[in-house]
Structure 1
Amino acid sequence: MADQTDAFRASTKFSEHLQNLLVELIDLHLVGKQAHWNIVGRNFRDLHLQLDEIVADARNFADDVAERMRAVYVAPDGRAQTVAKVSGLKPFPEGEISTSEAVDAISAALYGVAKTAREIHDDVEEEDPTTSDLLHTIIERTEQLAWMVSAENRTPQH
């Protein structure tokens, strides 16, 4: 059996930070699919396709975070009841939603995930710079996606 005495093991705080981010990424995936299935209105097709891209990124990032958690000896919890209880993202409306309203809700969810990643960044980096690299990637991409989605409802500032 391999000697694991020198293996990095996450602290409780580090574990909680990654768990919170994982939950929000899972929730972002679910919010994205809910919007994808229920949007109606102007620019439907473009937003419908863009939501697929957001969902794919959210799922991939959730998997990356969960696998990083396992690598540092933390058991991720992605159960539905945990996501519902812990996620800080605003609930997505039920039923059909206009593309304009969906743009605002999805943008808020993306910025919410980026905010969580930013809030935990310094603690994570102090304990494990490798994991902070993953946070950099998540922040960069979620903020880019939020900017791209939110541009749908913006008007030029003069």
Structure 2
Amino acid sequence: MATISGPLTGDDKTTTVQALQGALMDLIDLSLVAKQSHWNVIGSHFRPIHLQLDEVTDLAREHADTVAERIVALGANPDGRAATIAKSTKLPQPELGWIEDGKVVATFTDLLDGMSRRMRERIDATEESDQVTQDILIAVTQDIEKQRWMFQAQR
């Protein structure tokens, strides 16, 4: 069986892959939470929030693919399985049923704030271990923080 090797070894590889795996978990679950909310949002601001949740889903999926492929390029295996996400998610989960638009806005403002904090911790963690990964995490954080601002402006 062939294996993939990468440019990092030892602690640098461990630190970097852990940061990327955490980002992958956040991003995959963000896409799921955004889509669940997208299907169930109601209220007078339904349409713009519905469309913004699609934007969040799309950016989360795109970044998740980039992050997972970086893990592989480093010679490790990304774990995006549903059971892994369910066990390790840090994102608050939406309630079942209709969700008022104001609650969606408040939830996503807080959810994206938490993601931003975790992403910034990962950026700091990879500063020495792998600047290529750090650049990827910075790009993810930039998009997360932009979406947070856009939700927060609707409060």
Moved more, 117-126 or 71-80: 117-126
Corresponding residue for 1:34? 36
Normalised TM-score (structure 1): 0.89
The residue correspondences of 1:137-152 to structure 2 (distance < 5 A) are 137-152=139-154
Cα distance in 2, alignment partners of residues 50 and 7 from structure 1: 38
Farther-moved stretch of structure 1 (86-95 vs 73-82): 86-95
1:15 Cα offset (Å): 1.6
Mapping 1:53-132, distance limit 5 Å: 53-132=55-134
3-state SS of paired residue (2:116): helix
Q: Deviations over 1:85-118 (max 9, x none)?
A: 1111112211110000011111222222211110
Indicate conservation of the 8 Å contact 1:31/1:106, yes or no. no
Measured after TM superposition, the shift of residue 6 of structure 1 is 7.7
Gaps in structure 2 of 5+ consecutive residues: none
Give the partner amino acid of 1:151.
A
**How far, CA to CA, are the matches of 2:5 and 2:117 in structure 1?**
35
Q: 1:102 to 1:8 in 2, by over 3 A?
A: same
5+ residue gaps, structure 1: 154-158
Percent identity between the two aligned chains:
40
Normalised to the residue count of structure 2, the TM-score between the two structures is: 0.91
RMSD: 1.6
CA–CA distance in structure 2, aligned partners of residues 115 and 29 of structure 1: 18
In the other structure, the counterpart of 1:8 is 8
**Cα offset for 1:21?**
1.0
**Number of residue pairs matched by the alignment:** 150
